[in-house]
Amino acid sequence: MTTTPESTSPLTPQNGVSVSGDSGVASSALLSLRGITKSFGAVEALKHVDLDIPAGQVTALIGDNGAGKSTLIKAIAGIYAPTSGEIYWEGRKVSMHTPRDAEDLGIATVYQDLALCDNLDIVQNMYLGHEESRRLTLDEIKMELNTKRVLSELSVSTVRSVRQLVGSLSGGQRQAIAVARAVMHESKLVIMDEPTAALGVSQTAQVLDLIKRLASRGIAVLVISHNLVDVFEVADRIAVMYLGTLVSSGPVANYDTASAVEIITTGGFQSDVAATVK
Amino acid sequence: MSDTNVTVPVADGGAVNSLRGQLKRLRQGDKGLLPILLGLVVLVIYFQIRNSVFLSSGNLVNLFVQATIFILLAMAEIWLLLLGEIDLSVGFVSALGATTAVILLDNQFQWPWFAALPLAIVVTTAIGTLQGFIIIRLRLPSFIVTLAGLLGWEGVLIFFVDRQGTGGTIPVQEKVLYDLVNANLSPIATWIFTLACAAAMIYIIVRRDQSRRSSGLDSVPQFVTIAKSAALVVASVVLVLVFNANRGTFVVLEGMPYAIPVDIAMLAAGSFILTRTKAGRYIYAIGGNAEAARRAGVNVNRYRLLAFVFTGITAGVAGLIYASRLGGISDNVDSNLVLLAVASAVIGGTSLFGGRGKMIHAVIGGLVIATIYNGMALINMSAATQYIATALVLLVAVAMDAVARRGSSPSR
């Protein structure tokens, strides 16, 4: 199991097994969390979370409301600094204090509200905050060409023109633009918060497709989702949180819907799942 | 360049504008200038039928000069409207700037014009920046802070004007400031200036088209570019003929008032900043979704403050034109100015809700307002009717704005 960020080889979901409780840093993982704890006053939102996120795979983070999923991704995205614990990026220990720090490492986050400007067109949204300019003025041609290239690489084929306002796009298209923007700036890890929550059936399929394509390009994807159907459709690995603890993680093959629901609701099964991992 | 997956490179600039596409764009807020230009034409035809003096050269030039103050104040307002903010104090602030210049230019101080006129702009810029700073730092609504400004700066204005002891009015006694509105370019210079402007615009249009085409991007068909250029040339020639016709009765009076090039310069500068620079892009982004801009790494407060600075600069220029046109500054500045400025911007197509608008909207809207006032005075309508008519036009414009806003976000 030597998946590297650049690898575009077919997916190998059986590889990269790492179970909660593993100590030491798996050299294979793009991002490794070790003993991450986050307290808000007396409340411990995260308790000693260990998680490995390998490149080229989709990791689904599941759990009930208040299980700590959002806190965990905010720690990875640089919004909250963990109270204790270590974060390793490509094997190196890193500390992130601002979203910009995470972005500079190559971690991009697509929030549920997508953070798009409806009054700007696709190109302008894709480059917001990272505009290409020549001397004083914006280099629209370069930005438009790159946007078209990125969208076609991701096979986002449903937009009529990249100069159309984002406000006129459908929910699935907006999600696709938000994802494309995240990967455009050479991100190696894309975190997505409930990417299919607001979407219809066919648009959900499009977005799940897009997520798989990201992984096949060697990008690590961390998806938060409530929808287990989507999770089993798209994920290579599953990590389950329960009351601030990462109670179980492993390849998707180790789970079925019933066991996943069981772990989400009771936090149990941890030892059994660990036992099933060969 | 391959368009493998980004499908159908239709000429999205609008070569094939079916009526349905036009209607759809209208509902989505991208209404373009066509509806309001049509409205303007209807107004012009109506007034011309009621009084044939309306389209005379003398009256048209007068109308343009009347419009300059609305146009400049509307431009000042657009910087903030794009952010979803508003400045209610802009009328008195610009008058206060002009007061500074008029006082410093008169006999007791005798400052040279090249010091006094820029100082007026410095004053309005400082006031705009101060108000912006308060609004951003204390997180107060701009509506309230500038409402305080509306009252407060009028007080300061009255204080300074009355202190001069000239009976509530300070006349402009200096030639350059007086000539801004009341003197004209020579007919030759009018030709040169207008054609140079048209040539510059055509150059920009053609070059953009060429570079898009050579990069393999969707571009409008060549005949559209040619038609646009031809329309520009025709419009400029007509304008020059209007300005260069002798409109004096006893003396020869011809050429373009200096105020018009001032307007055009402000339009060009504002449009350049809004469409070609990061600052402009960020102002649109903040007005559209400030949180998205912040997450994209934009220093939101810095660019909001910058917009207040631009408003202040533009207001300074507007004030000088205002003082020049009235031949002085009185302690009785029209408090409707700011409302007409906002009305001009909105009538032209700028949204009150932020994120949508262009500098050219100030020009169109300002012309509409000036046309209404000018035309109604010509056909001897009462002041009461004038107010009511302006109100109706504004109401229609705001309603269109609101409908467009609802139409523009169908996805949620």
**DSSP secondary structure string, B201-239?**
HHHHHHHHHHHHHHTT-----HHHHHHHHHHHHHHHHHH
Note whether A137 contacts B218, CB cutoff 8 Å: no
Query: Distances from the Cα of B402 to the Cαs of A123, A170, B396, B399, in angstroms?
Result: 26, 21, 10, 5
Average pLDDT (B126-149) is 96
Q: pLDDT tens digits, residue range B290-312?
A: 999 988 889 999 999 999 999 99
Name the residue of chain B whose CA is nearest to A127's CA: B296
In angstroms, the separation between the Cα of residue B318 and the nearest Cα of chain A is 27
Mean pLDDT of chain A: 82
Verify whether the Cβ–Cβ distance B287 to A124 is below 8 Å.
Answer: no
| Greatest extent of chain A over all pairs of C-alpha atoms, in Å | 61
Burial string for A55-71 (b: 16+ CB within 10 Å, else e) reads bbbbbbbbbeeebbbbb
* Nearest neighbour of B288 by CB, restricted to A119, A163, A168: A119
Contacts of A211 (CB under 8 A, 6+ apart): A58, A179, A192, A195, A221, A223, A234
pLDDT in tens, B390-410: 788 878 878 877 777 676 544
Task: Tell me the average pLDDT across B95-105.
Answer: 95
DSSP string, B233-297: HHHHHHHHHHHHS---SSS---S-BTHHHHHHHHHHHHHHHHHHSHHHHHHHHHHHHHHHHHHTT
Nearest-Cα residue of chain A relative to residue B9: A161
Domains of chain A, with CATH numbers?
29-114+188-276 (3.40.50.300)
Q: Given this model, what pLDDT does residue B239 score?
A: 94
Q: What is the pLDDT of residues A190-223, one digit of tens each?
A: 999 988 887 888 888 888 988 998 999 899 999 9
Does A115 contact B218 at a Cβ distance shorter than 8 Å? no
Pairing state between β B169-171 and A237-242: unpaired
Kindly report the pTM of this predicted structure: 0.85
Flag whether pLDDT at B14 surpasses 60. no
Residues of chain A numbered 90-109 and touching chain B (CB < 8 Å)? 99-100, 103
pLDDT given at position B13: 38
Mutation pick from A117, A121, A151 vs chain B, by most beta carbons of B within 10 Å, is: A117
Which range has highest mean pLDDT (A153-157, A262-266, B30-34, B185-189)? Answer: B185-189
Q: How far apart are CA B104 and CA B111, in angstroms?
A: 6
Q: Which of A25, A27, A47, A26 is nearest to A38 (CA)?
A: A47
Interchain contact, B408 vs A167, CB within 8 Å: yes
pLDDT bucket at A257, cuts 50 / 70 / 90 = confident
Q: Inspect the interface and report whether the beta carbons of B296 and A128 lie closer than 8 Å.
A: yes
pLDDT of B11 reads 38
Nearest CA in chain A to B298: A129
Task: Convert the pLDDT of each residue in A7-39 to its tens digit.
Answer: 333 333 333 333 443 444 445 789 999 999 999
Q: Which of residues 390-409 of B touch A (CB under 8 A)?
A: 408-409
Looking at residue A278, what is its pLDDT?
38
Q: For residue A117, give the nearest of B3, B8, B293 by CB distance.
A: B293
Q: Is the pLDDT of residue B273 over 50?
A: yes
d(CA A105, CA A87) in angstroms, rounded, equals: 12
Tell me what pLDDT residue A8 has: 37
| pLDDT for res A4 | 41
Tens of pLDDT, residues B184-234? 999 999 999 999 999 999 999 999 889 888 888 888 888 888 999 999 999
The candidate with the shortest Cα–Cα distance to B31, out of B22, B19, B20, is B22
Contact A89, A105 (CB under 8 A): yes
Who has greater pLDDT, A156 or A59? A59
For residues B200-222, one letter each, b for 16 or more C-beta atoms within 10 angstroms of the residue's C-beta and e for the rest, the string is: ebbeebeeebeebeeeebbbbee
**Lowest mean pLDDT segment, chosen from A35-44, B42-51, B238-247:** A35-44
Q: Which of B236-250, B266-280, B299-313 has the lowest mean pLDDT?
A: B236-250
Q: Provide the CA A47 distance to its chain's centre, in angstroms.
A: 21
* Predicted pLDDT at B404: 72
A137 and B CB contact within 8 Å: yes
Minimum CA–CA partner of B295 in chain A: A115
Q: Which residue of A has its CA nearest to B297?
A: A129
Place of tokens 């149990």: A268
Give me the pLDDT at residue B412, please: 37
**Out of B30, B218, B291, closest to residue A115 by CB:** B291
Amino acid at B396: V
Check the CA dihedral B31-B34-B38-B40 and report its sign.
Answer: positive
Flag if B291 and A141 touch (Cβ within 8 Å).
no
- Record: contact B277-A138, CB cut-off 8 A: yes
Number of CB pairs, chain A paired with chain B, less than 8 A apart: 125
Instruction: Kindly identify which residue of chain A lies nearest to residue B353, measuring between CA atoms.
Output: A119
Three-state DSSP class for residue B143: helix
